[in-house]
């Protein structure tokens, strides 16, 4: 199976396991800058050179050798499951993508037809009942993750634990897992632990939120989208994410982690 979703700088200064919707665009650009002294011109996910990626065949033997030998500092980044699934809904379901089309072609029409989800019209700009539609989308997300129907789960709303685990199961070891909510502090620790050809001043790094502007703005506080049933569905889908990464399941309004991440526990529980 190898190491899907793994990126590594060309100088092999650092290895990163991508978790979708968890600051991956910004992290990728920091990695690119740390080697080249400039940012990639475009969405870093589209970069085919300047950064080793498992999706590139020529990068695979280099990544595999490095990860299995734990030759470089390795890390990943996680996010509060409540805000992550909300972000997926507004970006991927309600938003128009970079190519000017809806995400995954027939996905949104199917959601409209089978689950009664509204997405703000053809261009995603019309007003609609965001809370009602999100809760219906959440039911769909649960169906994909629990029963793989009406489709396999998408990487943007499948559990973070699943993404994080493939690295461990296939022989990798994390040195650090950082939180999106305290990104600068976490990334500072990563940069302190590695040596890069180009210095990075985190205070001057822009946020590369490639999904921003794709969809309608969220008009309610996070907690308004989650009633008792929605919280039950979130727990069913993401219980391991809350447990392993220190987030507060009981209060959707609190996006901040409430306890430290136990790296040994993460490796033990996800490496089975």
In the predicted structure, residue 209 carries a pLDDT above the cut 80: no
Could you tell me if 22 and 64 lie in one domain?
yes
Is 247 domain-assigned?
no
pLDDT band at 211 (very low <50, low <70, confident <90, very high): low
pLDDT digits 0-9 by tens, 70-85 = 999 999 999 999 999 9
Could you tell me if 63 and 183 lie in one domain?
yes
The answer for 151, left when phi > 0, alpha when psi is -120 to 50, beta otherwise, is beta
Q: How far apart are CA 1 and CA 232, in angstroms?
A: 33
Could you tell me if 59 and 91 lie in one domain?
no
Q: What is the mean pLDDT of the chain?
A: 94
In the predicted structure, residue 231 carries a pLDDT above the cut 90: yes
Could you tell me if 145 and 11 lie in one domain?
no
User: According to the model, what pLDDT value does residue 212 have?
Assistant: 57
Could you tell me if 26 and 161 lie in one domain?
yes
pLDDT digits 0-9 by tens, 123-143 = 777 889 999 999 999 999 999
Residue 182 phi, psi (nearest 5): -125, 50
Q: How many domains does the chain have?
A: 2
Could you tell me if 146 and 169 lie in one domain?
no
pLDDT digits 0-9 by tens, 21-45 = 999 999 999 999 999 999 999 999 9
Contact (Cβ atoms closer than 8 angstroms) between residue 97 and residue 46: no
Is 244 domain-assigned?
no
Could you tell me if 186 and 68 lie in one domain?
yes
User: According to the model, what pLDDT value does residue 208 have?
Assistant: 85
Sheet with 73-78: strands ordered across: 52-53, 6-8, 14-17, 73-78, 176-179
Domain span at 88:
82-155+213-238
pLDDT digits 0-9 by tens, 234-259 = 999 999 999 999 999 999 999 999 99
Burial tier of 261 (Cβ tally within 10 Å: 0-12, 13-18, 19+): middle
Q: How far apart are CA 55 and CA 261, in angstroms?
A: 29
Is 265 domain-assigned?
no
């Amino acid at each position: 199976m190898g190491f899907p979703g793994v990126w590594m700088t060309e100088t092999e200064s650092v290895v990163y396991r991508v978790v979708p919707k968890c600051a991956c665009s910004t992290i990728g650009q920091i990695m690119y800058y740390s080697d080249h002294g400039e940012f990639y011109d475009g969405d870093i996910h589209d970069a085919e050179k300047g950064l080793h990626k498992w999706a590139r065949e020529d990068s695979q033997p280099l990544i595999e050798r490095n990860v299995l030998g734990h030759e470089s500092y390795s890390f990943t980044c996680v996010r509060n499951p409540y805000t992550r699934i909300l972000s997926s809904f507004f970006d991927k379901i309600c938003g128009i993508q970079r190519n000017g089309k809806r995400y995954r072609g027939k996905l949104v029409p199917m959601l409209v037809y089978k689950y009664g989800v509204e997405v703000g019209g053809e261009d995603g700009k019309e007003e609609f009942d965001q809370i009602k539609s999100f809760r219906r989308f959440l039911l769909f997300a649960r169906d994909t993750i629990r029963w793989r129907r009406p489709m396999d789960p998408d990487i943007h709303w499948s559990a973070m634990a699943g993404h994080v685990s493939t690295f461990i199961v296939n022989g990798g070891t994390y040195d650090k897992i950082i939180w999106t909510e305290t990104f600068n502090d976490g990334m500072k620790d990563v940069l302190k632990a590695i040596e890069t050809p180009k210095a990075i001043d985190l205070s001057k790094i822009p946020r590369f939120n490639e999904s921003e502007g794709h969809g309608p703005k969220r008009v309610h506080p996070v907690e308004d989208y989650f009633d008792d049933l929605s919280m039950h569905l979130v727990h069913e889908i993401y219980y391991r994410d809350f447990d392993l990464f220190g987030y507060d399941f009981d209060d959707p309004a609190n996006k901040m982690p409430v306890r430290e991440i136990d790296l040994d526990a993460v490796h033990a529980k996800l490496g089975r």
